[in-house]
Structure 1
Amino acid sequence: MLIAPDKFKGSLEAPAAAAALAQGWHSVRPGDELAVLPMADGGDGTLAVLAAGRPASWVTVPTVDAVGNPRLGRYLRAGDTAAVELAEICGIAGLSKLDPMGSHTLGLGIVLAAALRSGARGLVVALGGSASTDGGAGALSALGARLVGEDGRLPPGGRGLTRLVAVRADRLAPVPPDGVRVLVDVQAPLFGPSGGAFAFGPQKGADREEMLELDRGLRRLAAVLGTDPDQPGCGAAGGTGYGLAYWGGRLTPGAPTIGQLVGLPEAVRRADLVLTGEGRFDASSLTGKTCGHVLETAARSGVPALVVAGSIADEMATAAAGTGLLSLTELAGSALAAQQDPVRWLAEAGRQAAEATTR
């Protein structure tokens, strides 16, 4: 039995969710061999997954959050590779008040630069949960690039991008020998109706006029930097995918990459049944997210699968035909009850899944 869930956003990180599901399953079927493999797709919670059960160490770094307040960030060092998660450093969850026009990614770049100075030969950067739409300009600045505005200066955040006139990259830190893997959980281009400003601006507090200005800024950034803005994932994290691609990072779908790093394909091949899960199972779950990738991997190996989710969209009964579905909201009686005691209801879901398998 393979248990491979993502985080349950706002409730539990993936390792804790996997442990609760395993506890419930074993309460009914104690003799089963359980492989517990927490998963992620490059969004928030990715470092917790990479750190689970592996030899790695945390390194703490002074940095700033998305609006410039001093804070401590960290990266995960495993051998010659350092992994960094944007959401932990300058993500939306750390802000008491949203600032869609002024938020930036400077803090991410500070941590990346520190990892390079430590001697890391390769970087893994998890994008997701960002507060900004600055196209990665802040991160590039911290890595040594100079982005020049109309009067010589460029204000931080997406607000300043429309004033960008040049970039000077002679002092930009070189990409490390083993490269930079940029994990994205969306395929959005940099700008346009499905780009970084319009697709993700509302969740960062941007209104219609602000989204229009942010989109103009991202277009200006592309015109000055010259990197292809239509690469899938350039719009991730408010265009941070684009900025890191300009640096030399390789944009790669997060869930398959994490799956390879933690050994998902082999674990699926050895399993008789796969159980995955996340906070909300809807149409987006099947388009690059963790659950969709785990289900796809299981289907390729002919292994049946079951999804446990905080809530399940109505259309998923058809979209995920043949997949067992369990909703914590239904088990607990309400979404609030499920969120208040996620360990209890995940264990109950694991128990019911085991009982259904026994029958």
Structure 2
Amino acid sequence: MKIVIAPDKFKNSLTSLEFCSIVETQIKADLPNATVVKLPLADGGDGTIDIVNYYLKGKTINAKVSNPFFTAVNASYVYAIKTKTAFIEMAEASGLKLLEKTQFDCKNTSTYGTGELILDAINKGATKIILGIGGSATNDCGIGMATALGYRFLDKNNDAVHPIGANLSAIKAIDLSKVEPKIFEVDFKIACDVTNPLYGKNGAAYVYGPQKGATHKDVLLLNKGLKDFSKLISLIFNIDPQSIPGSGAAGGMGIASKIFLKGHLQSGNKLIKQLSNFETQIIDADWIITGEGKLDSQTLSGKTIQGILDVSLVKNIKVAAFCGTIDIDSNVLNKMGISYVSEIINEAKNLDDAMKNAPIHLKKITKNFVNHIQQLA
């Protein structure tokens, strides 16, 4: 029997690597002759760096760069010398995780440090860069990142604008004369799992600004800035940012990655599956065990489990979902193509117990699953 373990993380409880290790150990204890393949997955957000390195087998590179408020901070990324591939998490330099909640203020933050990480990777010899743009503390439409790479954003007096979200409306021209030429020799893939437009009620400022400390007044300012800057982008790059799905991701880093890096926006899940050689690895599998913290309606909108089901249904492979909690009707689960489900919350005393003792409960539900498939044999 061949069993593939391919989960996402359980936020604040289990990483996907930990999930794989626990489930593998229990399966091998109960089914010593089973072939077990571990394919930990991620969605491009926080924590993806560890999953990417599982497949790239690269080296962690440390660099001193700017945090969202231009204060020096040590950040890291993964670089595989053999394939000249780097994986950079935007959150390492420009993320909310670097700030106290009282510091959240996305009108005054910048992606400059992310640009510094990109430049460091290029100088190390990277010819392929995967950029994860989840968890940002910014809403500057990527002008900070671009500034670090040599782009200059000029006001009406032809002076350089300080690259923060609050100054987007002040930009009247973009000087391309000093852009680092090496960036155009790099293949950029951008892990982007949202489809929000750049501005408007569903755009970067309105949807994500409040989570990053923006007041209603800030949201109006930032939205206007994004709209004004969008007009300049259209004029200079001959592209309508509002027509690009995901342009509003990470405070506008979606469109910034496309125009300033010539990057390709892709689903984070799909990028990780490509790195893992997923479709080849699951050939002849009897079961795929997947999981995430909460199985709910969002799972149907491109999250990890849905991505697995898209492949497993075609290949006629049974899928088991081990989750923290499940908030979907059993009829919907059947229609999705999930053959077996189990939730940690049913084994735990309460939510706190489920979170703190997730490894113990996951081991138990794995054992129950093994009993189930043994009864089917």
Aligned-pair distance for 1:111?
Answer: 0.2
Preserved contact between residue 152 and residue 160 of structure 2 (Cα < 8 Å)? no
Preserved contact between residue 13 and residue 48 of structure 1 (Cα < 8 Å)? no
Preserved contact between residue 4 and residue 39 of structure 1 (Cα < 8 Å)? yes
Paired position in structure 2 for 1:15: 17
Aligned residues: 359
**Mapping 1:239-258, distance limit 5 Å:** 239-247=252-260, 248-258=262-272
Relative to 1, partners in 2 of residues 1:209 and 1:306: Cα closer, same or farther, differing over 3 Å? Answer: farther
Paired position in structure 1 for 2:52: 50
Match of 1:233 among 246, 249, 257: 246
Relative to 1, partners in 2 of residues 1:154 and 1:49: Cα closer, same or farther, differing over 3 Å? Answer: same
Relative to 1, partners in 2 of residues 1:317 and 1:61: Cα closer, same or farther, differing over 3 Å? Answer: farther
Paired position in structure 1 for 2:216: 208
Preserved contact between residue 55 and residue 276 of structure 2 (Cα < 8 Å)? no
Tell me, in whole angstroms, the C-alpha distance in 1 between the residues paired with 2:180 and 2:345: 48
Paired position in structure 1 for 2:326: 312
Relative to 1, partners in 2 of residues 1:147 and 1:315: Cα closer, same or farther, differing over 3 Å? Answer: farther
Paired position in structure 2 for 1:223: 231
Q: Output one character per residue of 1:314-343: Cα deviation in whole Å (capped at 9) or x when no partner.
A: 457625634132222222232221221232
Relative to 1, partners in 2 of residues 1:354 and 1:149: Cα closer, same or farther, differing over 3 Å? Answer: farther
Paired position in structure 2 for 1:339: 355
Paired position in structure 2 for 1:165: 172
Paired position in structure 2 for 1:137: 143
Relative to 1, partners in 2 of residues 1:65 and 1:316: Cα closer, same or farther, differing over 3 Å? Answer: farther
Tell me, in whole angstroms, the C-alpha distance in 2 between the residues paired with 1:320 and 1:210: 45
Q: Which piece of structure 1 moves more, 23-32 or 113-122?
A: 23-32
Paired position in structure 2 for 1:94: 98
Query: What are structure 1's unaligned runs of at least 5 residues?
Result: none
Residue type at the aligned position of 2:13: S
**Mapping 1:1-359, distance limit 5 Å:** 1-52=3-54, 54-78=56-80, 79-97=83-101, 98-150=104-156, 152-174=159-181, 175-226=183-234, 227-229=239-241, 230-247=243-260, 248-315=262-329, 318=332, 321=335, 322-323=337-338, 324-359=340-375
Residue type at the aligned position of 2:268: G
Tell me, in whole angstroms, the C-alpha distance in 1 between the residues paired with 2:209 and 2:160: 25
Residue type at the aligned position of 1:191: Y
Relative to 1, partners in 2 of residues 1:350 and 1:179: Cα closer, same or farther, differing over 3 Å? Answer: same
Q: Which piece of structure 1 moves more, 239-248 or 198-207?
A: 198-207
Over aligned residues, Cα RMSD in angstroms? 2.0
**Secondary structure in structure 2 of the residue aligned to 1:68:** coil
Residue type at the aligned position of 1:163: A
Q: Output one character per residue of 1:141-178: Cα deviation in whole Å (capped at 9) or x when no partner.
A: 11111112356343443222122222112222233434
Tell me, in whole angstroms, the C-alpha distance in 2 between the residues paired with 1:53 and 1:163: 43
Tell me, in whole angstroms, the C-alpha distance in 1 between the residues paired with 2:87 and 2:198: 24
Structure 1 residue runs of 4 or more that deviate by more than 6 Å after TM superposition: none
Relative to 1, partners in 2 of residues 1:281 and 1:214: Cα closer, same or farther, differing over 3 Å? Answer: farther
Query: What are structure 2's unaligned runs of at least 5 residues?
Result: none
TM-score, with normalisation over the residues of structure 1? 0.93
Relative to 1, partners in 2 of residues 1:61 and 1:318: Cα closer, same or farther, differing over 3 Å? Answer: same
Aligned-pair distance for 1:278?
Answer: 1.5
Tell me, in whole angstroms, the C-alpha distance in 2 between the residues paired with 1:120 and 1:176: 12
Preserved contact between residue 295 and residue 328 of structure 2 (Cα < 8 Å)? no
Tell me, in whole angstroms, the C-alpha distance in 1 between the residues paired with 2:289 and 2:350: 22
Tell me, in whole angstroms, the C-alpha distance in 1 between the residues paired with 2:229 and 2:341: 44
Tell me, in whole angstroms, the C-alpha distance in 1 between the residues paired with 2:143 and 2:300: 31
**Secondary structure in structure 2 of the residue aligned to 1:62:** strand
Residue type at the aligned position of 1:135: C
Tell me, in whole angstroms, the C-alpha distance in 2 between the residues paired with 1:180 and 1:215: 27
Relative to 1, partners in 2 of residues 1:173 and 1:197: Cα closer, same or farther, differing over 3 Å? Answer: same
Relative to 1, partners in 2 of residues 1:176 and 1:163: Cα closer, same or farther, differing over 3 Å? Answer: closer
Relative to 1, partners in 2 of residues 1:66 and 1:329: Cα closer, same or farther, differing over 3 Å? Answer: farther
Relative to 1, partners in 2 of residues 1:206 and 1:349: Cα closer, same or farther, differing over 3 Å? Answer: farther
Tell me, in whole angstroms, the C-alpha distance in 1 between the residues paired with 2:346 and 2:108: 40
Residue type at the aligned position of 2:115: G
Aligned-pair distance for 1:222?
Answer: 1.3
